[in-house]
Amino acid sequence: MASVFGQAFRVSTFGESHGPAVGVVVDGCPPRLGLDVADVQRELDRRKPGQSRLTTQRREGDVVEILSGVVDGITLGTPIAMLVRNEDARGRDYDEMRTKYRPSHADYTYQAKYGIRAWEGGGRASARETIGRVAAGAVAQKVLRSVWNVEIVAAVAQVKDIEASLAVESMTREAVDRTPVRCPDLDGAARMIDVIDAARKAGDSVGGVVLCVARGVPAGWGEPVFDKLDADLAKAMISLPAAKGFEIGGGFAMTHATGSEVNDAFRRGAGGRVTTRTNFSGGVQGGISNGEPIVIRVAFKPTATILREQDTVDIDGNETTIAARGRHDPCVLPRAVPIVEAMMALVLVDHALRQRGQCGS
């Protein structure tokens, strides 16, 4: 089903952008895990709108309610249902979109598929759907930290043509969250902020790249052929709103190299553990983790909904123009960081539980 993700750790999100609420049901979380509302709320606060002038000014507290699956701060092993109520929906801002399609948005394709669409705010095509992903990702990250000591950190690596200098091995959440653009390179962050501000003032938008690293992933997670770990990561990331590109490790840059330049030579590490001298593979070989940090990059296009007048057609096929109203991100990157982290966690915990069930490790 289109709104269900994962096999051993299954996630089902629900709700529309301007409906009463959005949320998620998580099935497969191990029992007797310490989990409280604060664990989830912390991640939702990093995703919520209105954090700075760089994001949409929709005013939502995004306060999560855990409805089931947890008692006295301990998971039961039964489905965990989480709900976030929509408090600042303004459907009137979308009146024009009732009959017109936004360029590069999902308005037309949802109409073509279903013959009906939630035109207020874009319904399920809105980034507000990702609240459920982030809530589920918070649970997944708690499992990964508690059982396998896996740490996941993402950061904005690029906005338009501004590229940051990131130390992937030492990047921390604290450093990432120090700037409103979520880039730990302070000089690069300042330049990114200027670019986003300029786009916002011009009624336009910009895109960029989020880099994400998972440290502490043991060797052996992932499946051969169709369920490769990197294939599932690619699916997870490209399923995000506005995501248009995915790389792991050396990615497309390796097309300009030779095998002798980018093959990751093995060596004996501390305690006899097998490691590699380089990490062009991005921590995955043959679709299975090799014990090195998993490093991915996700490219996001400029936000489709902009305030500038654009050519389009209406639902009857007549040519017209549209200039969006409402509150929209001039750049999705700052709020995409916790969403990318969440999807990384959901893929990893699913494969971790599958590996434990299959091989006991």
Q: How many domains does the chain have?
A: 1
Find the domain containing 266 and state its range: 4-359
Helix, strand, coil percentages in the chain from 3-state DSSP, rounded to 5: 35, 20, 40
pLDDT at 48: 84
Q: What is the pLDDT of residue 2?
A: 80
Closest-CA residue to 3 (of 130, 160, 161): 130
Q: Identify the three-state secondary structure at position 30.
A: coil
Q: Are the CB atoms for 163 and 157 separated by under 8 Å?
A: yes
From the list 258, 260, 248, the residue with the least C-alpha distance to 284 is 248
Quote the pLDDT of residue 50: 65
pLDDT of residue 119: 85
Sign of the Cα torsion 277, 283, 289, 291 reads positive
- CATH number of the domain at 341, please: 3.60.150.10
Say which residues have a Cβ less than 8 Å from residue 167's Cβ, sequence separation at least 6. 184
Angstrom distance (rounded) from CA 242 to CA 253: 23
User: Which whole-number Å values give the CA distances from 3 to 14, 109, 164, 281, in the listed order?
Assistant: 7, 17, 34, 30
pLDDT at residue 49, as a whole number:
74
Per-residue pLDDT of the chain (361 residues; tens, 9 = 90+): 589 999 999 999 999 988 899 999 999 999 999 999 999 999 999 998 766 677 665 566 899 999 999 999 999 999 999 999 988 666 666 788 889 999 999 999 999 999 999 888 788 888 899 999 999 999 999 999 999 999 999 999 999 999 999 999 889 999 999 999 999 999 999 999 999 999 999 999 999 999 999 999 999 999 999 999 999 999 999 999 999 999 999 999 999 999 999 999 999 988 889 999 999 999 999 999 999 999 999 999 999 989 899 999 999 999 999 987 766 789 999 999 999 999 999 999 999 999 998 887 7
Indicate the SS3 state at residue 297: strand
φ, ψ at 358 (rounded to 5°): -85, -40
Rounded Cα distance between 342 and 133, Å, is 6
The pLDDT, as a whole number, for residue 142 is 98
Res 326: pLDDT: 63
